[in-house]
Amino acid sequence: MRLIIDTDTAGDDAFSILLALKTPGVTLEAITICNGNVDFSQQTENALYTLEVAGYSDKVPVYQGCPLPLLRKEVDATEFFGVDGMSDAHFPKAKQRPESKHAVDAIIDLVMSNPGEIDILAQAPLTNIATAYAKEPRIVKALRHLWIMGGTDNSLGNTTPASEFNFYVDPEAAKMVINAGFRQTLSTWTLTMNSGILPQEALARIEAMNTPLSRFFMTVSQAPFKRTKVRYGSPLSTHPDSLTCACAIDESLILEAADCLVDVETGSELTRAYSSICVPLDEEQAKIDKLWPAGKPNCRVIKKADTDRFAEKLIAVLDT
Amino acid sequence: MRLIIDTDTAGDDAFSILLALKTPGVTLEAITICNGNVDFSQQTENALYTLEVAGYSDKVPVYQGCPLPLLRKEVDATEFFGVDGMSDAHFPKAKQRPESKHAVDAIIDLVMSNPGEIDILAQAPLTNIATAYAKEPRIVKALRHLWIMGGTDNSLGNTTPASEFNFYVDPEAAKMVINAGFRQTLSTWTLTMNSGILPQEALARIEAMNTPLSRFFMTVSQAPFKRTKVRYGSPLSTHPDSLTCACAIDESLILEAADCLVDVETGSELTRAYSSICVPLDEEQAKIDKLWPAGKPNCRVIKKADTDRFAEKLIAVLDT
Amino acid sequence: MRLIIDTDTAGDDAFSILLALKTPGVTLEAITICNGNVDFSQQTENALYTLEVAGYSDKVPVYQGCPLPLLRKEVDATEFFGVDGMSDAHFPKAKQRPESKHAVDAIIDLVMSNPGEIDILAQAPLTNIATAYAKEPRIVKALRHLWIMGGTDNSLGNTTPASEFNFYVDPEAAKMVINAGFRQTLSTWTLTMNSGILPQEALARIEAMNTPLSRFFMTVSQAPFKRTKVRYGSPLSTHPDSLTCACAIDESLILEAADCLVDVETGSELTRAYSSICVPLDEEQAKIDKLWPAGKPNCRVIKKADTDRFAEKLIAVLDT
Amino acid sequence: MRLIIDTDTAGDDAFSILLALKTPGVTLEAITICNGNVDFSQQTENALYTLEVAGYSDKVPVYQGCPLPLLRKEVDATEFFGVDGMSDAHFPKAKQRPESKHAVDAIIDLVMSNPGEIDILAQAPLTNIATAYAKEPRIVKALRHLWIMGGTDNSLGNTTPASEFNFYVDPEAAKMVINAGFRQTLSTWTLTMNSGILPQEALARIEAMNTPLSRFFMTVSQAPFKRTKVRYGSPLSTHPDSLTCACAIDESLILEAADCLVDVETGSELTRAYSSICVPLDEEQAKIDKLWPAGKPNCRVIKKADTDRFAEKLIAVLDT
Ligand SMILES: [Ca+2]
Ligand SMILES: [Ca+2]
Ligand SMILES: [Ca+2]
Ligand SMILES: [Ca+2]
């Protein structure tokens, strides 16, 4: 599998990169940085440091993309991840430097010159993917598969009641990408909450193993632990990005999925970035029920994933 | 308890009326008819027939209210309830006739002349309540409590992915009422799905008891059984309205509730009538998390109700 | 002509009432008060005082209507009209008191019991008319004609760039009424600006005539003179309401009008209450131009009125 | 003046290119093609043919940009300009071919490598400019000036009552660009209608001069003449793009302009792409009037241009 990871590297974004780097059979062709969690340059540094801590310095090019959402004012998640996105660990600056080529061009060039070969894991707001699509709509057909972490699947959001962070940051980009016609799979915040929380025992094992990567994991996780304790009553190790990566790498982790019609709200503040997700009616059904969405599905939505096998994969990676 | 039921009488609306009629200590002061499920006059007939079949002819006045949503085109639920709202049973016309007074005035007059005494169970689109409020905002303080069946609590809707039927029909009315300042409790479609589906054994008991009211129940339920079988795979006896009534009459049925900030979407088609429901942040929390809604709760939302005790109450009523 | 004036009495609202009172052949059947320009009770007092100053005490009943917009927060125009709506003249309290009947019911009862006989001049936000329509949609057919002052006709608004005050205050009410199906004529802020500004010489004549009503006119106009001087560079005597009244009373003042398709924006803040006004395409034209609105006109829109004859009428009234 | 023209070449777009080519002191550095009026490739051909007919083959590079609006479905103006955008003249294919470089990169590279040197005339939907900004926000400071043809200035639109074609096609792009912080001047459809219609005598002179370029002008104008005759009663030679070009090249043609606050509607269909334009209040004024927009102007808006001198310039160019 030839993979591009588009990321606003902070917290779990980094673990997702580790997973891709350390899984045999996966070639991480590029890391592309998108605006999102924390300061844009800091996100680049976080990606570069993650490569270094994993022993992959200079093995994967890092491209910087769009530093701002398309038309919304910037928001960030520093309250969740710390100002540096790494629980304020303030890691040393990595030796590898970002490429001068723009992430949008890196995506277009890789995808267009390798038709049917490249998967993208989009684990950030979708500004880069949307801008690549605006520039070169033919990536829709040339890309093998788009894996998106974003949205909610008819459950409470993590940013507003109606919405999840990645979609909230750039709803127009999300709407563009979801409706562009990609072969695509959506991994929602709802999935994170039902399948992407690391079990306590797994967490204990990680803490106990005391490898460089397990220490990296524990250090990076401290701020999210604190915030989830306040929000949910106990510290949660939530893995939206790395669970999506795990599913992309090994689809047998997907226990349940549905072909859905997905759309994104861009016209209202109360429901900004709400992801409408349903199994659409077919033509016959639409004659009876005139209000429910009808038509062809445009996105596979993961409904349930194998938490235990995901945890095993993550632990295995941190144990190297 | 002195109760007004505002209803678009079809299917479970009728069972809710039966519950109120037959519960000792509850005085049903008025039934007010609102646009919604089926043809407006037919809904009036359904309410009148329900009184008759329960032996309450001429004991509860029925007032006709607003025949249309405030500013949306009419929609109906005849595909779910049958054209007559009663699974096309085409019951004979009741002897009792509706009052000439308008439902909006009946509501205002009853509430204003009995301050602190009257509860309203709003189990239809909220056009009547909203119009009563527009005409006489002081009902907000004079009403003892408003029980609303409507909206979804961060789960899939029953009309569109984003919305429940009562709110969908008249979103502006829903937004008006939810934000008016009533002491109010919301019973959502989410609650119906987790607590308001009659267990199979309860249904079997009702079918077996063969009383006039159990036969009425089974007859009225046939169309919903057919439609839920298509939608959900097996016939479901869903009770949004009568569960709300049961909770209003006996609050001990409410197993879990939360004081929430609720608002309703009126500005977009994709998310038309979406009900935003969350526990709002307090002032301190709002300094850390700037995106999540903050402020004072405006509505109690029922999260879980006692399905078994609800079933017992319903069965007891049908056994009379 | 049998007329109801629905008014948020302040400034020009009062002159419009004078015009109706003093024009032979016009019977002012009722004045109904709607939320809008200034404090609701004060508006009632302003209407009552206007009757008194005109010598019509106890000759026209005044009914109080909806004190709040349907679902928007209250806004007012005290910065334009003074806190009392009468340039802070603080007139003595009139002897006549408002009726106990609600304006909404006064409108419905008058219209329904005199089908084809009554005209309404709506010179305030449309909350009362919308609520009357919600309660009794049959007023649409029973009303002879609805004259609405509101909206802009493709020109700069007076409240935001996109909108005029009456529509801005209660956009949902405006949208309800415009689309309800009334025989109706719209007099916009655009018309006020091109035909409803009193010429300087007319103003000089009014000032010079020194009658009780001319003194009333000059007193009431002081605050608007000050504000228009700031806004437009010189004091303007703008007459949205009384010009509409004059056109309703004598249609020969309408120099130019068009049958238009009108709609009102309720879904966005930037364009809140924008009135979309155009001559719609017919079926043939719509095959060529697929974006311009097509269909049947729903409203006559006055494009130009006879300013000089309007001024003469107003002066004649103030000279009595 | 070093100029880039971003164009959806059809009709007046071509005349604007001629004006830039033939005006001494203006260097047309690049033509960039954006989705809009007609088929994307055809627009490219139209630009290339325009260069050829003007004798500028291979002297100005033509770059193809974004073939689709950001997130809206495509619309076109073939009903106005003919299927080929040139009144179906079906001109022969030009010898010059478009560059392989993308328009977005051509814009970014030219602007960033010549800070403070380049002007852009954006006479198409703003997809290219918006995408360039999304990729490289620093063009905002590096560009000398952005000249935009688009929007309406509080008057009737040409695509819907609320909107002008360029903004209507891609409202999100328009909103992005208008709010990005460019030094910018807006030339609206309102300006076209009051200052950009060629006087009849000028048109007669062009027809009579019988030069290659005047024949080109007359041929290309036939379809718009037919459509404007249907729409406005007589054939109009409307020049939104070339008037903007003339103003950019020679600012003395601008007779009246205002520093305004401009924003674009993206959240509603009725008012899709409406351009809100006003002189904003300052801080002191905003204390009195709380509803009118306040803040700093973000755009100079041309209110009136010198039609006669524009006509002379156009005629001079066509006479070469
Ligand atoms: Ca991420
Ligand atoms: Ca109901
Ligand atoms: Ca008024
Ligand atoms: Ca153009």
Domains (range + CATH), chain C: 2-197+238-305 (3.90.245.10)
Interface of D with A in 170-199 (CB under 8 A): 172, 175-176, 179
- The tokens of C132 are what? 């009357």
Q: Which residues of B touch D267 (CB under 8 A)?
A: 267-268
How far does the CA of residue B267 sit from the closest CA of chain D (Å)?
Answer: 8
Residue C171: band (very low, low, confident or very high) from pLDDT cuts 50, 70, 90: very high
CB pairs under 8 A between A and D: 52
- CB distance B293–A156 less than 8 Å? no
Please say if the pLDDT value at position B320 is more than 90.
no
B267 and D CB contact within 8 Å: yes
A212 vs C166: CA distance, rounded Å: 68
Tens-digit pLDDT profile for residues B102-161: 999 999 999 999 999 999 999 999 999 999 999 999 999 999 999 999 999 999 999 999
Q: How many other C-beta atoms are found inside a 10 Å radius of the C-beta of residue D313? A: 21
D67 and A CB contact within 8 Å: yes
pLDDT at A222: 97
Residue D307 Cα, ligand 4 centroid: separation in angstroms?
A: 19
C66 and B CB contact within 8 Å: yes
- CB distance C70–B104 less than 8 Å? no
pLDDT at C320: 85
Among the bound ligands, the one closest to the CA of D121 = 4
pLDDT at D260: 98
D276: left (phi over 0), alpha (psi -120 to 50) or beta: beta
Q: Where are the beta strands (DSSP E) in chain A?
A: 2-7, 27-33, 62-64, 118-123, 145-149, 184-187, 254-264, 275-278, 299-305
pLDDT at D320: 85
- CB distance C266–B268 less than 8 Å? no
Ranges of chain A with pLDDT below 50 = none
Cβ atoms of residues A42 and A84 within 8 Å: yes
How far does the CA of residue D274 sit from the closest CA of chain C (Å)?
Answer: 8
Q: Which residues of B touch A270 (CB under 8 A)?
A: 263, 265, 267, 274, 276
Strand partners for A145: A119
- The tokens of D17 are what? 């290119």
Among the bound ligands, the one closest to the CA of D167 = 4
Tens-digit pLDDT profile for residues D159-214: 999 999 999 999 999 999 999 999 999 999 999 999 999 999 999 999 999 999 99
Mean pLDDT of chain C: 97
B167 vs B276: CA distance, rounded Å: 12
Q: Identify whether C145 is a catalytic site residue.
A: no
Q: Which residue of C has its CA nearest to B108?
A: C102
C308 vs D6: CA distance, rounded Å: 50
- The tokens of B75 are what? 């929609």
Chains with ≥3 Cβ pairs under 8 A against C? Answer: A, B, D
D98 vs D63: CA distance, rounded Å: 6
Average pLDDT for B230-251: 95
pLDDT at A270: 98
Q: Which amino acid is at B104?
A: V
Helix (H, G, I), strand (E, B), or coil: what is residue A76?
coil
Which helix (H) or strand (E) element contains residue B146? strand B145-149
Helix (H, G, I), strand (E, B), or coil: what is residue D111?
helix
Residue B231: band (very low, low, confident or very high) from pLDDT cuts 50, 70, 90: confident
How far does the CA of residue A86 sit from the closest CA of chain B (Å)?
Answer: 18
Percent of chain C residues past pLDDT 70, beyond the cut: 100
C316 and B CB contact within 8 Å: no
pLDDT at D231: 86
Q: Which residue of D has its CA nearest to A104?
A: D135
- Which string of DSSP letters, residue by residue, matches B84-144? TSSTT--PPPPS----SSBHHHHHHHHHHHSTTTEEEEEES-SHHHHHHHHH-TTHHHH-S
DSSP letter at D2 equals: E
Strand partners for A63: A32
Average pLDDT for C205-230: 96
- CB distance D104–A135 less than 8 Å? yes
Closest Cβ–Cβ partner in A127, A137, A268 for D68: A137
pLDDT at A178: 98
Which helix (H) or strand (E) element contains residue D286? helix D283-288
How far does the CA of residue B243 sit from the closest CA of chain D (Å)?
Answer: 38
A99 vs D122: CA distance, rounded Å: 31
For chain C, state the CA radius of gyration. Answer: 18
Please say if the pLDDT value at position C38 is more than 90.
yes
C110 vs C2: CA distance, rounded Å: 10
| pTM, two decimal places | 0.97
B268 and D CB contact within 8 Å: yes
- CB distance A154–B159 less than 8 Å? no
Average pLDDT for D118-127: 98
pLDDT at D24: 96
Q: What is the largest CA-CA distance in chain A?
A: 63
Tens-digit pLDDT profile for residues C177-209: 999 999 999 999 999 999 999 999 999 999 999
Strand partners for C186: C148, C301
Average pLDDT for D75-88: 97
Average pLDDT for D26-55: 98
B37 vs B18: CA distance, rounded Å: 18
In angstroms, what CA-CA distances link B281 with A225, A230, B287, B292, B299?
19, 12, 9, 7, 15
Strand order in the sheet with B184-187: B62-64, B27-33, B2-7, B118-123, B145-149, B184-187, B299-305, B254-264, B275-278
Which helix (H) or strand (E) element contains residue B260? strand B254-264
Closest Cβ–Cβ partner in D70, D137, D268 for A134: D70
Average pLDDT for B198-209: 96
Q: Which residue of B has its CA nearest to D269?
A: B268
In angstroms, what CA-CA distances link B175 with B66, B156, C167, C320?
17, 19, 19, 49
D145 vs D140: CA distance, rounded Å: 9
Among the bound ligands, the one closest to the CA of C17 = 3
